[in-house]
Amino acid sequence: MALTVTLEDERGTVIDELLDPQNVVVRLIEPSAHKGEIALLQYVDPYADTIFNRLQMRDVLRDITTLMAKANDDAIAIVEKLSELAERCTREPHLYLKFHGD
């Protein structure tokens, strides 16, 4: 099972992407979701698509900060790239952060 996260415009054109073949993001989300430590990323479905819009990015970025605190050395680069995509989504209109489950 692999996860791909894309930054897309309103037409679905991929602007940037994060490939997560080891499912680092999902493995970090699951324990945090069970403890109630994250707000929106708990809804990422590893088996389907999940989309977040610009208005949701403040909460997504807060969730990413929580994940970063729990990331080991192997996961930091993945979480940093996720943060970069989310930050860009906040700065430009009509962008969406889309998690593509396997």
Could you report the per-residue pLDDT of 47-102, keeping only the tens digit for each? Answer: 999 999 999 999 999 999 999 999 999 899 999 999 999 999 999 999 999 999 98
Query: Looking at residue 70, what is its pLDDT?
Result: 93
Residue 1: pLDDT over 80: no
Query: What is the reported pTM?
Result: 0.94
Domain count, the chain: 1
Residues 6+ apart with CB under 8 A from 80: 68
Query: Looking at residue 102, what is its pLDDT?
Result: 80
What tokens appear for 94 in the block? 């009509």
- Range of 68's domain? 3-100
Residue 79's nearest CA partner among 9, 11, 32 is 32
